[in-house]
Amino acid sequence: MQLSLNSLFIVPVIVSGLLLILPSGIARILITITSLLLAALSLYLFCNIQDTYFFSVAPYLNEVVTAFDILLLLFFGWLALQRKNWLVGLLTIAQLGTVLYLIMVLPVQDTEQFMVDKLSAFMFLLINIISGVIAIYSLRYIEEEDCSPFRRKYFLSILFWFIAVMNLLVSTDNLEYFFLFFELTTLASFLFISFRKDEVAIANAFTALWMNQLGGLAILVAICFITANGYGAITFTNLLAHASAAGILLPLALLCIAALVKGAQMPFSKWLLGAMVAPTPVSALLHSSTMVKIAPFMILRLSPALKDTPVAMVVIALTGFVFVAAGIEALAQDNFKRILAHSTIALLALMIMMSAIGSPLTMVAALTLIMFHGISKSMLFLNAGILERVFHFKLASDMDRLGETGPFTSLVLTIGFMSLLIPPFGVFMGKWLSIETLGAFASSTKLFGACIIVAVACGGAILSLLYFKVLGLLIARSGVRDKIRFEKTGVVYSGTIWFLMGLTIASTLSLPLLLINCFVPVTNEILGTSLAVVITGWNLQIGAITLPLLPLLIAFFLLPGTIVAAMFIRFNNVDRVKEYTCGEKIDYSFSSFYFSTDQVTRYFSAVGVLFFVALIIVAVF
Partner 1 sequence: MRILLIVFAPVIGGLIVGFERIIRARMQRRIGPPLFQPFYDFLKLADKRKMMVHSSHAFLGLMHFISLWFALAVLLLGGDLILVIFLHLLSTSLLILAGFSTRSVFSHLGANRTAISVLAYEPVLIVIAVSIFMLTGSFTAASVFSYPAPLLFKMPLAFIALLLILPIKMKKSPFDVADAHQEITGGVELEFSGIFYEAVFTAKWLDYIFCYTLVYLFAGSNVTLGIALIGFVFFFTNALDNSTARVNYKQMLRFSLAVSFSLAFVNLIINILL
Task: Catalog residues that contact partner 1 under the rule CB under 8 A.
Answer: 403, 422-423, 428, 432, 435-436, 438-439, 442-443, 446-447, 449-450, 453-454, 457-458, 460-462, 464-465, 468-469, 471-473, 475-479, 482, 546, 548, 551-552, 554-555, 558-559, 562-563, 565-567, 569-571, 573-582, 584, 588, 590, 593
User: Do 433 and 582 touch, CB atoms closer than 8 A?
Assistant: no
Q: Is the dihedral of CA 369, 374, 375, 378 positive or negative?
A: positive
Closest CA to 345 of 357, 329, 366: 329
User: Do 424 and 555 touch, CB atoms closer than 8 A?
Assistant: yes
HSE at residue 67, side-chain half, CA atoms within 13 A, is 5
Phi, psi of 111 (to 5 degrees): -85, 170
Calpha distance 191→17 (Å, rounded)? 16
Residue environment code for 147-186, b if the CB has 16+ CB neighbours within 10 A, otherwise e: eeeeebbbbbbbbbbbbbbbbbbbbbbbbbbbbbbbbbbb
Calpha distance 167→219 (Å, rounded)? 19
Calpha distance 578→598 (Å, rounded)? 39
Residue 532 exposed, middle or buried by CB count within 10 Å (0-12, 13-18, 19+) = exposed
Q: Is 361 helix (H, G, I), strand (E, B) or coil?
A: helix
Q: Is 545 helix (H, G, I), strand (E, B) or coil?
A: strand
E-assigned strand segments in 12-120 = 53-55, 114-116
Nearer to partner 1, 145 or 404 (CB): 404
Calpha distance 351→434 (Å, rounded)? 9
Residue 86 exposed, middle or buried by CB count within 10 Å (0-12, 13-18, 19+) = exposed
In the DSSP assignment, the letter for residue 109 is: -
In the complex, what is the shortest distance from the CB of residue 332 to partner 1, in angstroms, rounded to a whole number?
Answer: 15
Calpha distance 480→114 (Å, rounded)? 61
Q: Is the dihedral of CA 296, 55, 214, 16 positive or negative?
A: negative
Residue 191 exposed, middle or buried by CB count within 10 Å (0-12, 13-18, 19+) = middle
Q: Compute CA 330 distance to the chain's CA centroid, rounded to the nearest angstrom.
A: 17
Tell me which amino acid residue 597 is. T
Calpha distance 397→334 (Å, rounded)? 7
Task: Please count the residues of the chain.
Answer: 621
Q: Strand 53-55 and strand 533-536: pairing?
A: unpaired
Calpha distance 445→466 (Å, rounded)? 31
Nearer to partner 1, 84 or 578 (CB): 578
Calpha distance 442→370 (Å, rounded)? 23
> Three-state SS string across 378-434, please?
HHHHHHHHHHHHHHCCCEHHHHCCHHHHCHHHHHHHHHHHHHCCCCCCHHHHHHHHH
- Ramachandran sector of residue 582 (left: φ over 0; alpha: ψ -120 to 50; beta: rest): left
User: Do 288 and 378 touch, CB atoms closer than 8 A?
Assistant: yes
Nearer to partner 1, 475 or 607 (CB): 475
